[in-house]
Amino acid sequence: MKKILHKAYKFSNSWTGTIVIVLFVIFFVAQAFRIPSGSMKDSLLIGDHLFAKKFAYGIPMPYIPFLEVPLFPWTKSLKLVDGDTPKRGDIVIFRYPGNIKEHFVKRCVALPGDELFVANKNLYIHFREGDAWIKKHYKNYKTETYNNELWVKNPYMKKHPGIHHDPKIIEDGRNPMPIFFFDPIKVPKNKYFMMGDNRDHSNDSRFWGPVPYENIEGTPWFIYFSIDKNWRIRWDRMGKTPTELEKPFYMNKARQERIKEDKKYYGIT
């Protein structure tokens, strides 16, 4: 046994061994991503650098970093092994259905079989488990009855305080209609409806539809580095998971940063 461990140790210390180990980690365990847009404010901020847990929802097809070339080019599948599926409220990293070389980060708001619509910016969901289940699990949430079904209004805002609307975005003909009204749909089998927490500034499933399971890459693990647009390092966010960043201290700081940026952008004093 010692001989085997010694050989493994020697191999890991070689250049070849180091490269193999690094590639294995990148392909199957964790991959570094940077948040480039504000669609997930106040939960994840522009300049957050995070490690993604790639095995959270099965094993995705490995792609060569930076080149975005599949390791096994003879197959078009985006999944090597199926595994767990996203849960409602999970933050998910996935390949954009319109261009699989692009990665998006959004929150999963509806599972296959769930029904949803948007009215006056509010998200309404009729969960696939039915009215009795909704009454049991969403006692303290506002519900509405449409077409003899019970719909939960904004079911994620209590648990995930980073979800918010921009009061400056109004229905004046200059903004996309899906922000304000989105017709009822039933999420198809093996697909997931994704929305950004910065609801009025997010390019998501309201515009291009639900995400196939095979496009799903993983979930954010923790922030390893964070820097704002003024090149100030956000030391307090480093090492934190998305769940930890939902605590009041981090939410308040994220909101303050967003408000300052909005005031500067809109010329508010």
Q: Which residues are annotated as catalytic?
A: 39, 106
SS3 57: coil
- How many other CB atoms sit within 10 Å of the CB of residue 93? 24
- Give the N- to C-terminal CA distance of the chain in Å, as an integer: 70
Task: Look up residue 180 and give its amino acid.
Answer: F
Instruction: Please give the structure tokens belonging to residue 241.
Output: 């998971």
CB distance 233 to 226 below 8 Å:
yes
- H, E, C per residue of 82-144: CCCCCCCCCEEEEECCCCCCCEEEEEEEECCCCEEEEECCEEEEECCCCHHHHHHHCCCCCEE
180 vs 37: CA distance, rounded Å: 21
- The answer to whether the bond into 84 is cis (omega within 30° of 0) is no
Q: Which one, of 46, 104, 105, 50, lies nearest residue 231 by Cα?
A: 46
Burial 221-252 (b: 16+ CB within 10 A, else e): bbbebbbeeeeeebeebeebebeebbeeebbe
Angle at 94 between CA 195 and CA 233, to 5 degrees: 80
CB distance 131 to 208 below 8 Å:
no
Instruction: Please give the structure tokens belonging to residue 172.
Output: 């004046």
